Amino acid sequence: MIYLWVDGEGWEKFDLADAEALKERGIKIGYGAKPICIYIVGSRFPVCYWGENRIDIGCKSMAIDKWLGGQGLALAEKGRFAESQAAEYRRYVEFIKSIWENTREGK
One digit per residue, pLDDT tens: the chain, 107 residues?
677 777 778 777 777 777 787 788 887 777 776 778 899 999 999 999 988 899 999 999 999 999 999 899 999 999 999 999 999 999 999 999 998 888 776 55
The reply to whether 42 and 72 lie within a common domain is yes
Whether residue 47 sits in one domain with residue 26: no
Q: Do 48 and 79 fall into the same domain?
A: yes
DSSP class of residue 58? T
Q: What is the DSSP string of 69-106?
A: SHHHHHHHHHTT--HHHHHHHHHHHHHHHHHHHHHHTT
Are 93 and 45 within one domain?
yes
Task: Give the residue numbers spanning the domain of 47.
Answer: 38-107
Task: Burial-class residue 88 by CB neighbours within 10 Å (0-12, 13-18, 19+).
Answer: middle
97 and 56 housed in the same domain: yes
pTM here?
0.68
Co-location of 18 and 64 in the same domain = no
Span between the terminal Cα atoms of the chain, in Å: 20
Q: How far is CA 71 from CA 33, 67, 76, in A?
A: 33, 6, 9
